[in-house]
Chain A
Amino acid sequence: MPELLLADVGSTFTKVCVVHTDEPRLLARAAVPTTTEPDVNQGLDAACRLAGTALDTALPLLASSSAAGGLRIAAVGLVPSLTAKAAEMAALGAGAKVVGTFPYALNTDDENRLRTLEPDLVLLTGGTDGGDTSHIVGNAEVITRTLPAVPVVVAGNRNAHDDLRRVLDGHQGPVRFADNVMPELNRLNLGPSRDCIRQLFLERIVIAKGMGRLKARADLLVPTPQAVLEAVRLLGQTAGGLGDFLAVDIGGATTDVYSHGAGLPSNAGVVYKGLPEPIDKRTVEADLGMRHTLSGVMALIDLEGLCAEHGLQPEEVMAWTTRVAADPGAIPHSTQETAADTALAAAACRLAVQRHCGRLEEVWGPEGRVFLQEGKDLGDAGWVVGTGGPAAFGPAPEVILAAARRRAGSASLLPRAPRFLADRDYLLWAVGLLAQAGLDEAGARLALHHLREVPGGDAPSCRRVPEGTHRGE
């Protein structure tokens, strides 16, 4: 089938494109504001019309959704740095919004929090295979009592399965057992739980969120962030693609960071510590956004330093943040407001990328200095891609993307000499959908054709340029 209809619903805009897959190219594209009343279908129909098609054409439809809050998951594990973190990584990799991470034994406070959060799904982990069973079993009791109708994916110690089946026997929501997210100490296995989450999302959650029609029509329906992560995998893996790279999406409420790359220590004098991380990794910073959570960014930055770096006055930044606090829909008018908006986006980008990438810690041992690495070393990542938000559409994406570059002396393992790309046509979700449907080549070619290089990155000296990438504007 050479033509496909692709749709993304739920973010500010509902987007639709028609793609030719044999000769990969975009035939039509449209975006309209997402509708919620009565549901997403109105917007979807309007976007299709605008793209010169209709939702009910014979074209196969691949869709992604972040509607109704996306896929909201509570991640439950045992030790914060081990299974609780693994559960969080699994949920993020499945495209979820992690509404809470709960380590150790759930207590009454946690119970209340879970009730208030009303997650769409609980990912229950804890214990290596053959390891601890008491916490996961105790936590299952709390979950089935607290959230009796919520779907549960169990991905913990398999030796606890018998007890868990008994405890969850009367659970009203669906319960699925997947392989342990951490079968052995410090070994991750996120694929099986991710697949289970994806399945439950399709079978139960999209319907509960009023997307029955979309589900019935679509040949594929996944959470939007999962589609983007899939695009990251594809562009990283494809020969002639981007290799190791980072992608940044700075939104109004959150900042998402994606990376492709193993990120293992780059020299023998560095010892890796803690959980290994997935090659295709996603993190979400819920306190770093350009509108609703701008106060989160303000709380973390050194205002004087930011102003010095961007040639601004602190009062100018404060004036802009005051306006945004009063009206999250504010759009910068003056050059000062635009500059403040860009500077704050750069700050959010830097903070989010620092949290995403690993760190080096210097330890003074009996023999002198030794280095410990925790998390991914993305020093050799060749590209930083701005997708969505000001890093893609703003007036100065190069300023924002440059914030992802490693600074001399920094302990954060950020890219040392990246070049920059902007996903100007906001297509990564569509590329990910193509990849998920097995159309890797079409997806890769479409992406590499539409990503625009943003000047200001490091000289292309000896680095390979992806085929078909536009240079400059």
Chain B
Amino acid sequence: MPTSPEVPSPRHHGCPSATPVNIVLGVIGADCHAVGNKILEIAFREAGFRVNNLGVMVAQAEFIAAALETDARAMVISSLCGHAEIDCRGLRERCLEAGIGHILLYLGGNLTVGETDFPTVERRFREMGFDRVFPPGTAPEEGIAALWEDLRRRGCRQPAGDTKGPGRA
């Protein structure tokens, strides 16, 4: 289980087989539901990711700072309390602004209150820039399988220099 950075990585190779893939995990906004977050941390770690878990009540800026510093390939975000739409608005744009516009954004949990038609909910969050949106109660394994698939599709070959922060001349 590659939880420590033992494997020296060829620079920005980014391929999961050679070096652990960093992801940033957390529950967004003023949401304090902590149980699912712990389960997701364990599940993603056991699936081979290096999980940088920010816990609950995570601001957008914290997700972005963590992704920059860890060179993360994906943000796996939960929202349980029903405020996802407010809490997630503008995240993709802020990622673009920070130089990590290509990062995969995953979202799951109880995203809305009252809204029962999931395809509508999904469309709304996809339009906000999320790559994958999962319905309430999705098993972590489903998210993990999807993430590997998306990473494979990206060839695990992010070009060097895709994580430049502001200020790069």
Contact = CB atoms under 8 A, between A and B. Distances in A.
Interface in A149-192: 158-160, 162-163, 182-186
Contact of A130 (B12, B20, B24, B168): B20
Nearest to B163: A132
A184 B54 CA distance: 11
A81 B65 contact: yes
Interface stretch (A103-111, A306-314, A444-452): A103-111
A134 B19 CA distance: 16
Nearest to A364: B30
A133 interface: yes
A134 B70 contact: no
A128 B167 CA distance: 20
A165 to B, nearest CB: 12
Given A103-B165, A105-B164, A105-B167, A271 B32 contact: yes
A183 B22 CA distance: 13
B62 interface: yes
B164 to A, nearest CB: 6
A332 to B, nearest CB: 45
A287 interface: no
A377 to B, nearest CB: 17
B32 A130 contact: no
Contacts of A78: 68-69, 165
B11 A363 contact: no
A83 interface: yes
Contacts of A138: 168
Interface stretch (A116-124, A292-300, A339-347, A365-373): A365-373
A355 interface: no
Contacts of B161: 134
A209 interface: no
Contacts of A127: 69-71
A125 to B, nearest CB: 10
B112 to A, nearest CB: 13
Contacts of A183: 5
A363 B30 contact: yes
Nearest to B168: A105
B50 interface: yes
B166 A185 contact: no
A93 B103 CA distance: 35
Contact of B57 (A103, A133, A370): A370
Interface in A51-98: 78-79, 81-83
A126 B69 CA distance: 7
B169 interface: yes
**DSSP class of B's interface residues: helix, strand, loop or mixed?**
loop
Contact of A159 (B5, B29, B66): B5
A45 interface: no
A80 to B, nearest CB: 8
B9 interface: yes
A128 B52 contact: yes
Interface residues of B, number: 40
B126 interface: no
B85 to A, nearest CB: 13
B12 A133 contact: yes
A108 B169 contact: yes
Interface string B57-93: 1000010011011111000000001110000000000
Contacts of A128: 22, 52, 69-70
Given A108-B169, A363-B57, A130 B164 contact: no
Contact of B70 (A132, A135, A158, A365): A132
Given A184-B52, A273-B57, A370 B32 contact: yes
Contacts of B66: 82, 185
Contacts of B168: 104-105, 107, 138
A364 to B, nearest CB: 7
Contacts of A107: 167-169
A24 interface: no
A366 B161 CA distance: 39
Contact of B5 (A129, A271, A363): A129
B147 interface: no
B150 interface: no
A137 interface: yes
Interface string A269-296: 0010110000000000000000000000
A133 B71 contact: yes
Contacts of A210: none
A466 interface: no
A79 B9 contact: no
Contacts of B70: 127-128, 130-132, 185
Closest 6 CB pairs of A and B: A365-B30, A130-B5, A104-B167, A104-B165, A131-B70, A107-B169
Interface of A: 78-79, 81-83, 103-108, 110, 126-135, 137-138, 158-160, 162-163, 182-186, 271, 273-274, 363-367, 370, 372
Given A79-B65, A271-B56, A366-B82, 4 more contacts: A131-B71, A134-B71, A367-B32, A367-B81
Interface of B: 4-5, 8-9, 11-12, 19-20, 22, 24, 29-32, 50, 52, 54-57, 62, 65-66, 68-72, 81-83, 160-161, 163-169
20 contacts: A79-B68, A79-B165, A104-B165, A104-B167, A128-B70, A131-B70, A132-B68, A132-B71, A132-B163, A133-B12, A134-B11, A134-B160, A135-B165, A160-B11, A183-B5, A271-B56, A274-B62, A364-B30, A366-B31, A367-B81
